[in-house]
Amino acid sequence: MAEVIDGKSVAEDVVSKVKALTSELSAKGATRPGLAVVIVGEDPASQVYVASKSRTAKECGFHSVQHTLPADTTEEQLLKIIGDLNADKSIHGILVQLPLPGHIDSGKVIQTIAPEKDVDGFHFINVGKLGTGELETAFVPCTPAGSMLLIERVRGKDLSGLNAVVVGRSNIVGKPMANLLLAANCTVTIAHSRTKDLPALASTADILVAAVGRPEMVKGDWVKPGATVIDVGINRIPAPEKGEGKSRLVGDVAYAEAAKVAGAITPVPGGVGPMTIAMLMANTVASAYLAAGLKRPSF
């Protein structure tokens, strides 16, 4: 059976380090890290995420600010708030919770955030830095950054010569994940719904990352014996065995089958999920260090 990669425990390690770095920053007389979270509208899932992010920020000792705006907020009003946060020296990270209401252009909003405060890693400048290997100053999207830390826990930092297959080509996970693996000297293939003979390709991977958003799509016989499998998917499916109308969470990988073959695998829940908020905190503390003219901490 595969080693189960405990994302919760690694996320706790990251948060502990963020707390220590925050104390260190204060001891040096620098401004403590500041994180501003902006949410527009009443989306219940978004509200849960935002509450969790704000809670963790406070736990880390950050200056935590939350702007909760009504669904009819205009694009102009939202852009003004972002402009004010860009100019606020006590704020090092700005996060606009997606999705935004339909009348607001998400792309325009994200590109308005100052790149050095873009702790989500979605600004084109950060995307470009990651794509060209400028990892010292780039902010990397939190989910792939967290997935990379989990891979390093199993395989070490130097992944030279390993084959990596990323299933999924989104701007939020698939593409940045591929760039991180390339920077670690993997041979990387990005696969997607149009890829021919996906099972055969997946089975060549020493590192297999599934980020397609399709429940249990990656089967056990797609996995190379001993591979490291990172399951980014979070899907809710019916679970009649738990009772009428009940559901359960599954990933993009058929876990029970894959765990028999893989060398190491992330569970869902409890794998990549906890890493996302932990890496948001890591990016924010890194931004505060850079703003203070100090060396960026590594995780």
Q: Which pLDDT belongs to residue 97?
A: 94
User: What's at 226, amino acid-wise?
Assistant: G
120 catalytic residue (yes or no): yes
Q: Rounded to whole angstroms, what are the CA distances from 290 to 93, 170, 295, 296?
A: 12, 28, 7, 6
Evaluated on CA atoms 99, 100, 105, 107, the torsion sign reads negative
Beta bridge partners, 67, equal 38
* Strand duo 187-191 + 93-96: pairing: unpaired
Give yes or no: 53 in active site: yes
Q: Is 189 exposed, middle or buried (0-12, 13-18, 19+ CB in 10 A)?
A: middle
* Residue 131 backbone phi and psi in degrees, to 5: -65, -25
Question: Which CATH topology does 142-274 take?
Answer: Rossmann fold (3.40.50)
Distance between CA atoms of 74 and 69, rounded to whole angstroms?
Answer: 10
User: Which CATH topology does 29-114 take?
Assistant: Rossmann fold (3.40.50)
Q: How far is CA 68 from CA 10, 107, 110, in A?
A: 30, 20, 17
Distance between CA 157 and CA 172 in Å, rounded? 22
Q: Do 222 and 205 form a contact (C-beta atoms < 8 A)?
A: no
- Are the C-beta atoms of residues 140 and 125 closer than 8 Å to each other? no
Confidence at residue 240, expressed as pLDDT on a 0 to 100 scale: 86
Q: Which of 53, 117, 129, 224 is catalytic?
A: 53
The parts of the chain modelled with pLDDT lower than 50 are none
- What is the spatial distance between Cα 120 and Cα 138, in angstroms, rounded to a whole number? 11
Which listed residue (117, 118, 120, 252) is catalytic?
Answer: 120
Strand partners, 69: 40
Tell me what pLDDT residue 44 has: 85
Domains 29-114 and 142-274 share a fold: yes
pLDDT reported for residue 42? 86
The residues spanned by each domain of the chain are 29-114, 142-274
pLDDT, one tens digit per residue, over 9-52 is 999 999 999 999 999 999 999 999 999 999 999 888 888 889 99
**Active-site annotation holds for 97:** yes
What is the spatial distance between Cα 202 and Cα 222, in angstroms, rounded to a whole number?
6
